[in-house]
Amino acid sequence: MENMFRLMDQDQDLTTNRCIWVNGPVIVGAGPSGLATAACLHEQNVPFVVLERADCIASLWQKRTYDRLKLHLPKQFCQLPKMPFPEDFPEYPTKRQFIDYLESYATRFEINPKFNECVQTARFDETSGLWRVKTVSKSESTQTEVEYICRWLVVATGENAERVMPEIDGLSEFSGEVIHACDYKSGDKFAGKKVLVVGCGNSGMEVSLDLANHFAKPSMVVRSSLHVMPREVMGKSTFELAMKMLRWFPLWLVDKILLVLSWMVLGNIEKYGLKRPEMGPMELKSVKGKTPVLDIGAIEKIRLGKIKVVPGIKRFNGNQVELVNGEQLDVDSVVLATGYRSNVPYWLQENEFFAKNGFPKTVADNNGWKGRTGLYAVGFTRKGLSGASMDAVKIAQDIGSVWKLETKQPTKRSRGSLRRCISQQF
């Protein structure tokens, strides 16, 4: 009996529970979307707290991207609100440059996230009219559980919070190495190896290109149709050209012009097994959120036979893969460039604003940034960093207008604050 009570005492010492009142919104996620929202709130003189499960800002960029990664769009379309990229940055900043920019951004706007705090649940309390956000953080010897109480909740975990791991017959018994693209850093260690890249989006194309540049033998699985566009046409960004044309021409005409320009630069890619969808690239992006692949050299490698395009997978057999066309391939390693998904359904206890897929239900109506009861979403519009920035500005203005009206404060900037409402050890 004495030992039992001693064990109970030890367990109590290991767990600390706290409740904290936040005098402003709680932002979940310290990626570009969360940072942009925090910066805009800072400029509105609205206090806030940013919660981040990792130990750094922009953990996707810092820990789950490959070394050769650069921004796919020109920097003017990727900068966050109120702070442009440095003038000496190239048009397409590198991964390291983008991370440096984000760290400078956080410093400038005095954004200090609470790191290593993983949100377990967030729910709206109808009785109090407040949000209750529960987090868990662990150290070597203790676990801390904190409940944040706030009036506004900003979901900034984004579209790419969790990797997607496909279920493929026989993959678990594959004798070679299997990694997700988020764990792929460089093709150095794959030199001379036969690597199967599952997926043909921007990540799949760039991983295949990087493998070919490091003298590996990549085969890229292409199961469905896709649009591949040159990143630039005559020295101008394809995306920038599209944005300018959309000011003057209808969407269908812009798509036709883009396809003609792509054919002029890349040639007929369908003869390499890359079939284009019936819907044009900009229409497909607008309707289904599917981003065209921006080519930076992979098509030339495919044309030269350095990257092999193969159809879908039927099953794995040992160190071989059987394709849907009956072809058998010997494979040393597999890279799953199968994308990411939202993790919102796992922790947000709400089903009116967010759908089961973890995206706001009203994204298609351009109202995907605001729900009811003080709930907001940033970075879910499938419009990249520019879309997240637009969301952030709207959210900060919406919260800021209420904040200023109720507090009657001037527009000058000041640091945010939070107050502990209960602090005790159980």
User: How confident is the model over 10-19, as pLDDT tens digits?
Assistant: 444 466 788 9
Q: What percent of the chain has pLDDT over 90?
A: 61
Examine the pLDDT at 1 and tell me if it is beyond 60: no
Asked whether the CA dihedral 297, 300, 304, 306 is positive or negative, the reply is positive
Distance CA 139, CA 96 (A): 29
Q: What percent of the chain has pLDDT over 70?
A: 91
Instruction: Report the candidate in 19, 27, 24, 18 with the shortest Cα–Cα distance to residue 150.
Output: 24
Convert the pLDDT of each residue in 226-276 to its tens digit.
999 999 888 888 888 888 898 899 999 999 999 999 999 999 999 998 999
Under the banding of pLDDT at 50, 70 and 90, the label for residue 363 is low
User: What confidence score (pLDDT) does residue 9 get?
Assistant: 42
Distance CA 306, CA 115 (A): 43
Under the banding of pLDDT at 50, 70 and 90, the label for residue 286 is confident
Convert the pLDDT of each residue in 99-121 to its tens digit.
999 999 999 999 999 999 999 99
User: What confidence score (pLDDT) does residue 93 get?
Assistant: 94
Examine the pLDDT at 7 and tell me if it is beyond 50: no
Examine the pLDDT at 399 and tell me if it is beyond 90: yes
Under the banding of pLDDT at 50, 70 and 90, the label for residue 405 is confident
Under the banding of pLDDT at 50, 70 and 90, the label for residue 8 is very low
- More confident site: 414 or 29: 29
User: What confidence score (pLDDT) does residue 14 get?
Assistant: 65
Under the banding of pLDDT at 50, 70 and 90, the label for residue 25 is very high
The rounded mean pLDDT for the chain is: 87
- More confident site: 362 or 252: 252
DSSP string, 287-343: HH-PPPEEESSHHHHHHTTSSEEE--EEEEETTEEEETTS-EEE-SEEEE---EE--
Among the residue ranges 267-281, 308-322, 355-369, the one predicted with the least confidence is 355-369
**Cβ atoms of 343 and 59 closer than 8 Å:** no
User: What confidence score (pLDDT) does residue 12 get?
Assistant: 47
User: What confidence score (pLDDT) does residue 289 get?
Assistant: 77
**Cβ atoms of 166 and 339 closer than 8 Å:** no
Examine the pLDDT at 87 and tell me if it is beyond 50: yes
Examine the pLDDT at 411 and tell me if it is beyond 70: no
- More confident site: 161 or 416: 161
User: What confidence score (pLDDT) does residue 236 get?
Assistant: 87
User: What confidence score (pLDDT) does residue 335 get?
Assistant: 95
Angle between helices 281-288 and 251-266 in degrees, nearest 10: 120
Q: What is the pTM of this model?
A: 0.87
Among left, alpha and beta (phi > 0; psi -120 to 50; other), residue 281 is alpha
Under the banding of pLDDT at 50, 70 and 90, the label for residue 142 is confident
**Residue 80 phi, psi (nearest 5):** -90, 165
**Cβ atoms of 342 and 157 closer than 8 Å:** yes
DSSP string, 379-407: S-SSSHHHHHHHHHHHHHHHHHHHHHHHH
Examine the pLDDT at 88 and tell me if it is beyond 90: yes
User: What confidence score (pLDDT) does residue 107 get?
Assistant: 96
User: What confidence score (pLDDT) does residue 198 get?
Assistant: 94
Under the banding of pLDDT at 50, 70 and 90, the label for residue 423 is very low
Distance CA 259, CA 281 (A): 8
The separation between CA 290 and the C-alpha centre of its own chain, rounded to angstroms, equals: 14
Under the banding of pLDDT at 50, 70 and 90, the label for residue 352 is confident
